[in-house]
Amino acid sequence: MQDRVEPPFWMLGNFAPVTEETTAYDLPVEGAIPPELSGLYVRNGANPRHGQSSHWFLGDGMLHGVAIESGKAKWYRNRYVRTPIFEGAPRHPLAGLDIRYALSNTSVVAHASRIMALVENALPMEISRDLETRGFNDFGGRLATPCTAHPKICPATGEMHFFGYRVIPPYLTYHVADAAGALVRSVEIPVKAATMIHDFALTARHTIFMDLPMVFDMPTAMAGSTMPFHWSESYGARLGVLPRGGGAQSLRWIDIEPCFVYHVANAFEEDDGTIVLDVARYDEHWRDGPKRNAFDTASLTRWRIPPGATRAEETRIDDRSIEFPRIDERRTGVPHNAVYALATEGSLADGVFTELLKYDLKCGRVDARRFVSELPSEFTMVPASEAAGEEEGWLMGYVYDRASATSDLVILDASDIGGKPVARIRLPVRVPQGFHGTWIASEPRECDAAAH
């Protein structure tokens, strides 16, 4: 008799997919939704439509959204992103070379009146405010590479900066879309080989790319069994610093200790020109390839690159295992103080997230909200107003209750994350552990705009 094979962690507990699309109106609320909040909170994640996926990152994209207006939770919807894969496009090892062969399962961005579901190996997929799929956005035919799941919107210019990496040349291309959503710039970035590049950083004057030792593995790709990347002992690790507006000839490389990074909290420049990056750093990742029932751990780490340096200075900010670091995105590219992240006990696959942390980087303080019977997902910082201070606003995220097997959208005071929730919006169904979400404020009505 064969031993029973334990299902992978992404098919168990609250990682497991939900099976139906749901719509519910006039959601019950505990507490009071701040009247300043008017918009849509939407989060993306992997939700296999049929059977198991071969890795946590490879399930069909599903969006979970809550619309808020006038102190009320108007509706909840979950919708699959109708990608070619969802619609039945044949799956084969080389299909991933097609930038329209997508799962669209990682994040959501709103820019230039468009909302887009993102995954790093494909074009953005435009969606409506009620989460219906509209189709790929290739920027009028000008975008010929994938789009990262982590574009950066410059608060000063309104530009969206992003990149695409591929496993065939050109391996890495940097793009800029202007505030109106037109693709205005593309620059090939010279890297040594095809590697997995999940995120990057933006400052007021520079763009920083991470060339890290997570290399493409063709045999694994051809087998189609899991994520086709593995740790390389020999590849090395470096940061590519590109002046904004500069060409590839102005790129300079900064050495760092070998590591891997999925997520950058933020980057900025000090008065003397030193570049600072705060990241969730893995000492190593997937050394023996992706695992079914384990996930490596990361810690909040700071890199500093003084002017003229060829190697970054590295400081571990905290020894706790964390992921999904977020900031007030109005601070993108400029100095920040607060970083919000989720903490785990042990591997993510073992302990799941147990705490929401708030790092006060000026005084070195860490505040924590402990979850005992609940499991949180990533929280998004929503400012109280455009003029509000960096830590004035709310943290918003889905929380799963083990006892009831349902989920809530929880709204916390960003200045007091351990306090009683400002509001708890009761959802009719479970929201699985997913990836990244965003708050999309309602666009002013014509009469409101005229009044101002």
Closest CA to 394 of 19, 72, 33: 33
Other C-beta atoms within 10 Å of 307: how many? 10
Residue 161 annotated as part of some ligand binding site: no
Residue 452 annotated as part of some ligand binding site: no
Closest CA to 154 of 310, 334, 391, 325: 334
Closest CA to 378 of 302, 447, 439: 439
The 8-class DSSP code of residue 30 comes to E
Whether residue 310 contacts residue 291, with contact meaning beta carbons closer than 8 Å, is answered with: no
Q: How far apart are CA 398 and CA 80, in angstroms?
A: 18
Q: How far apart are CA 408 and CA 125, in angstroms?
A: 27
Q: How far apart are CA 265 and CA 152, in angstroms?
A: 11
Q: How far apart are CA 25 and CA 75, in angstroms?
A: 4
Q: Give the three-class secondary structure for 219.
A: helix
Beta bridge partners of 407: 400
Residue 263 annotated as part of some ligand binding site: yes
Query: Which residue bears the tokens 């014509």?
Result: 446
Q: Give the three-class secondary structure for 1.
A: coil
46-49 contacts, C-beta under 8 A, 24 or more apart: 46/10, 46/17, 46/103, 46/105, 46/434, 46/435, 47/17, 47/18, 47/80, 47/105, 47/432, 47/434, 48/11, 48/17, 49/17, 49/80, 49/86
Q: Which residues are annotated as a binding site?
A: 150, 198, 263, 436
Q: Which residues are annotated as a binding site for Fe cation?
A: 150, 198, 263, 436
